Copies of this chain bind each other. A is one copy, B any other.
Amino acid sequence: MKEPSVKFTDVNELGEFGLIRKLTEDIETIHKSTVLGIGDDAAVICHGDHHLVISTDLLVEGIHFDMIYSPLKHLGYKAIMVNLSDIYAMNATPQQVTVSIAISNKYSVEALEELYAGIKEACRRYKVDLVGGDTTSSPRGMTISVTAIGSVAKEKITYRSGAKNGDILCVSGDLGAAFLGLQLLEREKQLYLDNPGIKPELEEQKYVLERQLKPEARKDMISYMAKAELVPTAMIDISDGLASDLMHICHASGVGAYIEESKIPINQGAQMLALKFQMDPVTAALNGGEDYELLFTVDEKDLEKIRHLPSTYIIGEITVKEDGITLHTPAGNVHPLKAQGWSHFPDNVTDS
């Protein structure tokens, strides 16, 4: 018999990325088929003339979603999107997913059917097959684990590590709205808890709410790029936030970068909402996360191709490592970029 582990180092001291690094730093791979292990949006396995790309994510109730404002159908849909987004970020096409759920007995069969309705709708729309999973009980709440499997021709696979000095930095859509949607939901939840009788007025904020509750992965961007015969030099999906995800590209590629603040695409409704909440819209766009847009770098010679790519914004440039990662403001100032990201180890979560 053994006491539950004595507490030594708090995981918050390392943070999510530090913890993963510590736990996995000594891992070596032995199979020839293992092309890439830990450290990108997805793992890469070689089979035949294609690469298989595998990504997996856990969504935990009380951390990644709140049942008070997450409709189950949207939640199922989002659980799939989060994973497909990682596959697209490798320039690959997802083909299969597995879905495992752990659920407490507060969920009825009908509630789970709603969750699965969202999962199935996502699979239908994005043309992926749901091929397996596991269903089990949980002492509390719900955990959803999705693994997505995609395929890509070897010469088209796009890692985080291919960006080089002079490459053009692009993003596939507007940023910050998902974060503001979350802020709105959190505020409305508080109002609702204080006064359960009131009806929230959310109709005007449909865009930011959808960006938070029912995001879409950028399948269309992968098709646009294929049609334009464009292969980015590096790519990542924006889940942690523009600043944090740009840093992942820069660290993996051994380069620096700058973003022009004025070029960051921000939806007008999101901008208005940020001002209403007395938040800086640019900070929301840089650090909000959960946008599930693609952040990618393109060789200078492909500039013409990007100009004709739908919904693509050029926001900056890749530089040499020594220049650091910076934000250029309209007033001509240069600020070093900080990644605040999302903490998946929030301080206010306590285990009893």
A54 touches B19 (CB 8 A): no
Residues of chain B with a CB closer than 8 A to A133's CB: 38, 56
A79 within 8 A of B: no
Residue of B nearest to A42 (CB): B132
Q: State how many angstroms separate the Cβ of A152 from the closest Cβ of chain B.
A: 12
Alpha-carbon distance A332/B198, docked complex (angstroms): 72
Fill in one digit per residue for A62-98: 1 if any B CB lies within 8 Å of its CB, else 0: 1110011101100000000000000000000001101
B11 touches A58 (CB 8 A): no
B349 touches A131 (CB 8 A): no
Partner-binding segment picked from A104-112, A165-173, A218-226, A240-248 = A104-112
Residues of chain B with a CB closer than 8 A to A96's CB: 31, 33-34, 43, 45, 54
Q: Could you say which of B37, B109, B111, B349 contacts A22, with CB atoms under 8 Å apart?
A: B109
A54 touches B105 (CB 8 A): no
Residues of chain B with a CB closer than 8 A to A331's CB: none
With contact pairs A11-B105, A27-B120, A72-B5 given, residues A38 and B189 touching in the complex (Cβ less than 8 Å): no
What is the total number of residues of chain A having a CB less than 8 Å from a CB of chain B? Answer: 104
Residue of B nearest to A142 (CB): B351
Interface hub of A43, A72, A132, A351 (most chain B Cβ within 10 A): A132
Q: State how many angstroms separate the Cβ of A319 from the closest Cβ of chain B.
A: 30
B54 touches A149 (CB 8 A): yes
A110 touches B200 (CB 8 A): no
Fill in one digit per residue for A33-50: 1 if any B CB lies within 8 Å of its CB, else 0: 110111000110101111
A60 within 8 A of B: yes
Residues of chain B with a CB closer than 8 A to A36's CB: 131
A130 touches B68 (CB 8 A): no
Residues of chain B with a CB closer than 8 A to A188's CB: 1
Residue of B nearest to A127 (CB): B30
A24 within 8 A of B: yes
Fill in one digit per residue for A14-28: 1 if any B CB lies within 8 Å of its CB, else 0: 101001101110110
Q: Could you say which of B1, B43, B120 contacts A69, with CB atoms under 8 Å apart?
A: B1
Q: Could you say which of B22, B69, B106 contacts A2, with CB atoms under 8 Å apart?
A: B69
A205 within 8 A of B: no
A108 touches B19 (CB 8 A): no
Q: Can you offer 17 A-B residue contacts whose CB atoms are under 8 A?
A: A11-B108, A20-B135, A30-B129, A31-B128, A34-B95, A34-B96, A38-B130, A47-B48, A47-B50, A56-B100, A57-B134, A58-B101, A60-B138, A104-B351, A136-B345, A139-B351, A140-B141
